Amino acid sequence: MSYSDDRKEEMKARKKAVRDTARAEKKAMAKMTRSQQQIRLAELKTEFLTHSSLDRYVRKLFDIALDDDHNGQLGAIKIIADRILPTASFSGENKTSNAVSINITGLQIGGVEVEEKEVPVSIQ
């Protein structure tokens, strides 16, 4: 076998291993309870936010989104709009109530003063 044939076989085996791993993770995720899934998602968010390459990744994403000649501009804009801008999922703000509170207050009047006016009398 030539080097290129060996390389192709190696790449096929690597892709199959990645695919099998992804399938196994998906099956494991399906067996998790809702609380376990929420815990795992919180762990992934923490790992993502503390990763050393996050700054470079975000900078590159914004560079692509702002480059009018880049082929991936639309995809970068979509990622920014869908994933980066809604930061409420990463903060504690989503735990507060979004209810509208309306307070109606009246004017406090101590007493009513009655003024008597003279009614004109018509003479015929």
Per DSSP, 76 falls in state H
Q: What is the mean pLDDT of residues 28-39?
A: 81
| pLDDT for position 93 | 56
Q: Dump pLDDT digits (tens) for 35-56.
A: 888 898 899 889 888 988 888 9
Q: Dump pLDDT digits (tens) for 2-15.
A: 888 888 888 989 88
Q: Per-domain residue ranges for the chain?
A: 10-50, 52-90
| pLDDT for position 40 | 86
| pLDDT for position 68 | 92
Task: Say whether pLDDT at 108 is over 60.
Answer: yes
Question: Do 5 and 13 touch, CB atoms closer than 8 A?
Answer: no
Tally Cβ neighbours within 10 Å of residue 65.
Answer: 19
| pLDDT for position 67 | 93
Q: Considering the entire predicted model, what is its pTM?
A: 0.39
| pLDDT for position 87 | 64
Dihedral pair phi/psi, residue 45, rounded to 5°: -60, -45
Task: Say whether pLDDT at 73 is over 90.
Answer: yes
- The C-alpha atoms of residue 78 and residue 73 are separated, in whole angstroms, by 9
| pLDDT for position 71 | 94
| pLDDT for position 33 | 84
- The C-alpha atoms of residue 27 and residue 23 are separated, in whole angstroms, by 6
Which three-class secondary structure state does DSSP give residue 107? coil
String of b and e for 77-111 (b: at least 16 CB within 10 Å)? eeebeeeeeeeeeeeeeeeeeeeeeeeeeeeeeee
